Amino acid sequence: MSDSVKASASTSTASWVLTTNIRPLVESLAALVEYEADYWDWDAIEAGLSVTDAEDRQGWYDYPLTGTTTLRIALANNPGSIVTTVRVHHPPDQLMTARIETIMSMLSRYRVIA
């Protein structure tokens, strides 16, 4: 497989998390790729997420986290719910997939208090 094909290959991991856990989600995913998420990132994500709707195919907000590799996070609120649907597009790596699944699983079950 050529380097250009490898570079374009990606997979995605999808789930939902409690909406109150979006910031811990972003910070945890950023840490996976050694990206320093800051207030600029959070302001952009918060503003973008505020106008999303998971029931609308065009109603999602995408945000890249670029560190040692790039994760592209797609987020959408679920109207009338306390959860946000999340898709993380990432390189096809079993360890990365397992880590992302673990983060999302924890943040769908427990409210993080920081």
Tokens of 68: 């040692």
Q: Judge whether 34 lies within some domain.
A: yes
Residue 2 within any structural domain of the chain: no
In a domain, 102, yes or no: yes
Total domains present in the chain = 1
Structural domain includes residue 114? no
- State pLDDT tens for residues 29-80: 999 999 999 999 999 999 999 999 999 999 999 999 999 999 999 999 999 9
With beta carbons less than 8 A apart as the criterion, state whether 50 and 40 touch: no
Residue 20 counted as domain residue: yes
75-101, pLDDT tens digit by residue? 999 999 999 999 999 999 999 999 999
3 part of a folded domain? no
Q: Which domain holds residue 33?
A: 10-109
- The b-or-e profile of 23-54 (16+ CB within 10 A means b, else e) is ebbbbbbbebbebebeeebeeebeeebeebeb
Asked if the structure places residue 4 within a domain, the reply is: no
Q: What is the CATH number of the domain that holds 77?
A: 3.30.310
- Residue 5 falls inside a structural domain: no
